[in-house]
Each structure stands twice: as structure tokens, then as C-alpha cells.
Chain A
């Protein structure tokens, strides 16, 4: 029972950035806890992915036609099988859609503890001390967990750059679990990003609206400002879930990741899921009447002015005179 197992996410062609963060975290943990950094990669064809996993000491490859396309049931079977076979001290899964499917499910299937929403991990003896963002980022819980255990890690918590090399890169091809023959779910189809005309991921300036905007009819205020600023309009998840703006404008974990030079957060509280989508933005300015909103922790400038007064005032200043 040793080592750190990283569940590698991919679209079948490229390894997802979160997986490099996990590999970086795994290396830090493995140095204290001992054992190897192992990367589990499960796909129809792992060929294109293996080359990117140089940070792992061993790369566990599971290939099967049943692993074409991401299917939670199939991936959980593979992960559970790997945990049983490799008996790692720590299992790391990204806090992504896949992480929401797999971390707690695999932990339950293997009888391991699971700690979610982790932003920091360190070993203490044979335990792992984790920091987790709870209550929309308003509080941080520090936990001590005996190993073996599963942790789901929030994107942006570890340096992706440290997760590309430094391992032995030995490949171990593992037979797919028998359960893949009797799956009770299937992938019918996928749609890629960019279905709509808007692509906020490339915008240099983003004006992003959150729940504080109050209603669909008030979006206009932000739209006018975005136009005056030459910015794209973004939104937090609640705004999209309420149908006030279309999905392609959603910034955050289940939406887009943006890296604009300017990110103006309007009425956004700054839940971790949102911050994940904009933490690489250049200048961040936040407008929120709640001075305690977590967005102010990541913003460069902030104000508690009422957005209904402030937005038109900024728009007016930016509009050409006359």
C-alpha cells in the first residue's frame, strides 16, 4: 500500500490540464508518503495520451472499445479495479465533471474515505492533511485523513507546469475489467464547444454577470457596458441556469475557462467553481454589494457600489462624447 494514483482525464486525444496538476500534486505527496506516482489512463486508444504522462513513474493503460467516449460507469469500473490492484495510499481525481462522477463513487466501491473540493494537500506521517473550499468559498475546512483515501482536487490548486516530466514513465498495460462487457449505460453522442457563434474564451475583455444582476431584464445594463468596453459578456452558472444568458457564455467549472486581460465581475459572489474558470485573468475588478464576497479575495480592485448605479455610470464615461 503505497504510492499515489492519478486518474487521468482526456478527450481521447489530449490529456486534460487538470491531470498535470494532479501529477504535480502526486509527486509532492509521493516524496513524503513514499511509493510511485502512477497515472491511470483509460481510453479506446491510449496511444496519443501516454507520451504526455512523463511525470508518472508508471502509466497504467487500460484500453477497450468500451472506453471510447467518456462514460461514468465504465470509467468508475476501471478506476475501482486499479485501486484494488495497485493499492495506492492516495488516489487523486480532478474536481471536474468526471471528478464529480468518479471520486466519491470509486471511494464508496473500495471502502476508502473521500475528501472533496481540495485546494491543498500535504502528507503528515501516513495521513493526508487537506484544505477544502466549502460554503461557496466562504470557509476552508482542514481535514486529516488516514490513507488510503481518495481526494478530488480543484483546478488551479497545483502548478500544471510541474506535472509534465520527472517520472520514469514505465508503461503497464492492464486488461480491461470484465464488467465493461455488461455496461448499463452508453454514450449516444457528443457536442463540442463553439456550437454557438460566441467564443468568450478568446475575448480580451470579459464583463461577467452573476446572480446579483437580479433578472434577465437587467442583463441589458451589462450588455451596454460590454459594448462600450468592446468586451464579451460572460455569466456565472446561476445566471445561465436561470436562462438569463445562453450556456456558451458561462464562465467556470461546467462552462468556459477564460483568460482575458480584463475581467469585470458584476454581481458575482465568486464560488470556487466560478473562480476556476477565470483565475488566469489579468486585471480582475469585482462589483458586489456584499463586501465579504469571496470574489474580492481574487480581484485586484473591488467595490460594493450598487451595480445598477455603477454600470450605467461606467458606460456613460466610456461612450464617445455626444
Chain B
């Protein structure tokens, strides 16, 4: 047992009793365990990384373990990461380094403020610098550098969705003019087929509301918040500076984005790089305007809602999406057991969006699959979301869990659009 320092256990006394040799420290107390005599250099290496200091604060209370969404599908939590590192595991080369989705639920319950939102990006940055990046994540980084989006889609096609929007969309790079709202579309609404559905629904809704708005078009690049959380701070800073320079060329009153990750970076990260904006998530922007919408029909759906980690826990917004859902006529709303502050994670944050195969090898099921099962349990026929990562993740999980036909996945804006037509 490595917990016991052998030199401190004295068993050299000889004793023979009724012909039986019972030599040893049989009748004495062991000295107190001297845990500082472990080799804790593995932990020191991690806590020595600026940003990762708080991993060392862990006192193993275990509150984070039931809160950690990854532990529900595997064997993971900050407490476990700390313990493995304390006894010598090298976090930089361990799969543990890439399983955290930076959902933030552990920090909410941690009495010691062990902050995975800072630890993970900082330690991952070291791994990235050493070239130890899972291949699929590396590809996302390379694509972001080359094309401005993690999927490797051509930049010139970023605004292609506009053609079939069925409503006018001002592309500022083609004809600059001051607008009230600059809509930062982000990658998944720009390129993913289901994201494009939502982008078009948004465009039609904005037209109905008569709002003066525009998009950057091909000049827009990924906000890179998830790349930052996945350990590529340099990439984040470079692309963020490019976005800030691009945004600086246009006149607008406020920035609105459908992506909670982009919202998080514009709110909390870009200001440090000189990009300060009046930024809202699209639900925050639209919720107060819902009363003005000329509803055409009621939607007879029983729905439940999944809180995006980066809108809810990271930025404290739980009400705006619920307010939108409340105002869409006809919907019956039911909460999932895990919601709001304790909302479950879809698995896409912190780089998880580009690590599905990797995490698949270290977990029993995907977070999105577990979440879909939770949604089905509520009896809802529709899982409503407001993060661009989620439609594709959950639709995929609906299929892989055999729930096709039982559960539909829709962005809130798609429901708004449906009720308006």
C-alpha cells in the first residue's frame, strides 16, 4: 500500500510466545499517515499552470460528482480528476483532459471554487502546445484557422442560406449601411442544414417584426469560444481580433447572436481584446417583442426545453427562452427533472462538439443521448432548444436511442416561424 511509508512501520521487535513467533508491530499504533510524502509532482505540474491553480483546492467532498453530466455516462468529475492527478496520473496525456464539456455545473456546487472553466482551457493549452490533440479536434482547429469555421466549409458559402430565407437579409459586406441590429449568425446556423432552417426562420421573424438588421456575410468568422475552451487560446485570440476588426467597420446599435457560445465570448471574452458590444442572445432580444407578433395559428405540441449551458449557468439567462415558449400560442410546456441551474449538458461545449468519437470511447453513451432519454421521459413530443449545436446533436441522439417518431427537436425560432405562417 503506497499510503503507508514503510520505514515508519517498525516491525523488527522479536517476540516468541508459547513457541510461536509473533514478531512485529502487533501491539502498537501506526503512526499517522504522512500523505505529503507522496510524489505529488503530477498535481504540482497541473496547478503550476496559470489558470489551473484551483484544481489543488479540491478537498474531495464529492459534491461535484453527482452534478457532473459526464459522470452520469462514465467515470468523471473534478473530484476524480483531482484524485487521479494527486496520485500521479498525468492529466496532460490522459483522456480525462478532453472529457469535460465546461458545462459549469460542478463550479455551481463546489465549496472550494475548483473552476474547471479555467482549469480545462489552461491545461489543454499546454497539451495543444505539445501537439497532443485528439485528431478530430485538431481538424476543427485547422479548419477554423483556414476557413473561419470548424467544419472546413468555404468562407464564401457562409451566407448561402440567405438565398432561400424567403425574407430580405442585408449582407453588410456587399452593401455597408448602418443597421439597428447586427446579427452574428455563427457557424452552425450558417452551414449546418438544420441550422440554416433556423436561420431562415429567424430572418422571416425579423421581417415580420420590421427590424432593421444585417449580417456580416462571408466576412464573419467563428467566435471561437469553444476553440478557446478546448485549449486553442491563440486561435481564439487571432480570430477574435479579426472579428473585432470586421465589426469595427460597420455601424450597428446592438449585436444579437443565436449561439450561446458566441454570446458568452462577446460578453465575457471579447471586451478584454477591445471588442465591447451591447450583445444579446436572440431569445433575450426577441422575448420582449413576442407580444407584437401576429400569430396565425396555435401549435398543439407538448414541449420540453433544454437549457444551453453557456446561456444558463454561464450567463444566468433562464427566463428569455421560457418566455418565448410561453408566448407561442398553443404549446403545452413541461420542465425536465434537470433544468435551469441544474440543467444537463448536451455534450457539445468546451470542444465536445468536435470530440464525439473520442468521448464515445470513454463513455457509455453520449450526453446528448442521455438528455434525449430524459426528454422522452417527460412525455413531451418535442424537445425545444436555442443553441445551434443542439438541433444536430439531439436529432442524432433521437435516432441513436431509437426514439424516432417519439421526439422531435426544434429550435424555438422554428416554432415561432411555424406559428406565424
**Same assembly:** yes
A-contact bits for B73-97, CB 8 A (1 contact / 0 none): 0000000000000000000000000
Asked if B276 is an interface residue, CB under 8 A from chain A, the answer is no
Other-chain contact of B139, A215, A306, A312 (Cβ < 8 Å): A215
- In the complex, what residue of chain B is closest to A214 when comparing beta carbons? B139
Bound-state CA distance A217–B356 (Å) is: 9
A150 to B398, CA, bound (A): 59
Assembled-state Cα–Cα distance A215/B136 (Å): 5
A215: chain B residues at CB < 8 Å are 135-136, 139, 357
Residue of B nearest to A305 (CB): B193
What is the minimal beta-carbon distance from B47 to any residue of chain A, in angstroms? 31
Is the pair B357, A217 in contact by a Cβ cutoff of 8 Å? yes
Asked if A216 is at the interface of the complex by the 8 Å CB criterion, the answer is yes
Which B residues, 117 to 145, have Cβ-Cβ distances below 8 Å to chain A? 135-136, 139
Contact of B147 with A by CB under 8 A: no
Q: Inter-chain contact count A-B, CB under 8 Å?
A: 20
Q: Shortest CB–CB separation between residue A242 and chain B, in angstroms?
A: 8
Judge if B285 is at the interface, Cβ distance under 8 Å: no
Query: Which chain B residues lie closer than 8 Å to A214 at the CB level?
Result: 136, 139
Which of A216, A217, A218, A306 gathers the greatest number of chain B CB atoms within 10 Å? A217
**Beta-carbon contact of B399 and A217 below 8 Å:** no
Smallest beta-carbon distance B399→chain A, Å: 7
- Complex interface: chain B residues within 8 A of A242 (CB): 135
Contacts of A216 in B (CB 8 A): 135-136
The docked-state distance in angstroms from the alpha carbon of A220 to that of B360 is 12
Q: In the assembly, what is the distance between CA of A314 and CA of B233, in Å?
A: 39
Name the residue among B356, B357, B360 with the largest chain A CB count within 10 angstroms: B357
Q: How many residues of A contact B (CB 8 A)?
A: 9
Query: Taking the complex as formed, is B333 at the interface, i.e. its CB lies under 8 A from any CB of chain A?
Result: no
- Are A217 and B135 within 8 A (Cβ)? yes
A220 contact set on B, CB distance < 8 A: 357
User: Once the chains are docked, how many angstroms separate the CA of A79 from the CA of B296?
Assistant: 79
Question: Is B358 located at the chain interface by the 8 A CB criterion?
Answer: yes
Interface positions, chain B 344-372, Cβ under 8 Å from A, are 356-358, 360
Would you call the interface of chain B mostly helix, strand, loop, or mixed? helix
Q: Within the assembled complex, what's the spacing in Å between the Cα atoms of A106 and B360?
A: 53
In the bound complex, residues from chain B placing their C-beta under 8 Å from that of A218 are 136, 357
CB closest residue in chain A, given B137: A215
Per-position contact with B for A206-250: 1 when CB-CB < 8 Å, else 0? 000000001111101000000000000000000000100000000
- Flag A29-53 by CB within 8 Å of B: 1 or 0 each: 0000000000000000000000000
**Assembly CA distance A312 to B135 (angstroms):** 22
Taking a contact as CB atoms under 8 Å apart, the answer to whether B136 and A312 are in contact is no
Q: How far is the CB of A243 from chain B (nearest CB, A)?
A: 9
How far is the CB of A32 from the nearest CB of chain B, in Å? 43
Residues on the A chain within 8 Å of B360, using CB: 217
| A216 to B360 Cα, complex, angstroms | 13
Is the CB–CB distance between B358 and A217 below 8 Å?
Answer: yes
In the bound complex, CA of A215 to CA of B139 (Å) = 8
A218 and chain B: residue at smallest CB distance: B357
State in angstroms the CA–CA spacing of A296 and B139 once bound together: 25
B157 to chain A, nearest CB (A): 9
Which residue on chain B has the smallest CB distance to residue A220? B357
From B193, which residue of chain A is reached at the shortest CB distance?
A: A306
A290: shortest Cβ distance to chain B, in Å?
Answer: 8
Q: Which residues of A contact B399 (CB under 8 A)?
A: 312
Tell me, rounded to whole Å, the shortest Cβ–Cβ distance linking A236 to chain B.
15
Q: Specify which chain A residues have a CB less than 8 angstroms from the CB of B356 in the assembled complex.
A: 217
Residues facing A in B161-199 (CB within 8 A) are 193
Q: Mark A296-322, 1 if CB is under 8 A from B, else 0.
A: 000000000010000010000000000
Instruction: State in angstroms the CA–CA spacing of A217 and B139 once bound together.
Output: 12
Q: In the complex, what's the smallest C-beta–C-beta distance from A128 to chain B, in angstroms?
A: 36
> B193 touching A217 by the CB < 8 A rule?
no
Using a CB-CB cutoff of 8 Å, which residues 263-322 of chain A contact chain B? 306, 312
Least Cβ distance of B26 to chain A in Å? 56
Assembly CA distance A217 to B136 (angstroms): 7
In whole angstroms, how far apart are the Cα atoms of A281 and B360 in the complex? 35
Residue of B nearest to A219 (CB): B357
Q: How far is the CB of B409 from chain A (nearest CB, A)?
A: 14
Expressed in whole angstroms, the Cα–Cα distance for A67 and B399 within the complex equals: 61
Q: State how many angstroms separate the Cβ of B131 from the closest Cβ of chain A.
A: 14
CA distance A220 to B136 in the complex (A): 14
Q: Chain A's nearest CB lies how many Å from the CB of B151?
A: 9
Contacts of B135 in A (CB 8 A): 215-217, 242
When chains A and B are docked, how far (Å) is the Cα of A89 from the Cα of B193?
Answer: 55
**Least Cβ distance of A83 to chain B in Å?**
42
Bound-complex Cα distance A215 to B135 (A) = 7
Taken together as a complex, chains A and B put the C-alpha atoms of A214 and B151 apart, in Å, by 9
Neighbouring A residues of B357 by C-beta, 8 Å:
215, 217-218, 220
Closest to A306 in B: B193
In the bound complex, CA of A263 to CA of B358 (Å): 29
Distance from B230 Cβ to chain A, minimum over Cβ atoms (Å): 15
Q: Cβ of A217: which chain B residues have Cβ within 8 Å of it?
A: 135-136, 356-358, 360
Q: How far, in whole Å, are A312 and B396 apart by their CA atoms in the complex?
A: 10
Question: In this complex, what residue of B is CB-closest to A217?
Answer: B357
Most chain-B Cβ atoms within 10 A of its Cβ — which of A215, A216, A312? A215
A312 to B398, CA, bound (A): 13
Shortest CB-to-CB span from B353 to chain A, Å, is: 12
Nearest-neighbour CB distance to chain B for A315, whole angstroms, equals 12
Given A215-B139, A312-B399, list of 9 further CB < 8 A pairs? Answer: A216-B136, A217-B135, A217-B356, A217-B357, A217-B358, A218-B136, A220-B357, A242-B135, A306-B193
A: residues with CB less than 8 A from B are 214-218, 220, 242, 306, 312
9 contacts between A and B (CB under 8 A): A215-B135, A217-B135, A217-B356, A217-B358, A217-B360, A220-B357, A242-B135, A306-B193, A312-B399
Q: What is the interface of chain B, defined by CB distance below 8 A to chain A?
A: 135-136, 139, 193, 356-358, 360, 399
Please name the 4 residue pairs, one residue from A and one from B, whose CB atoms are nearest each other, closest first: A217-B357, A215-B136, A215-B135, A215-B139
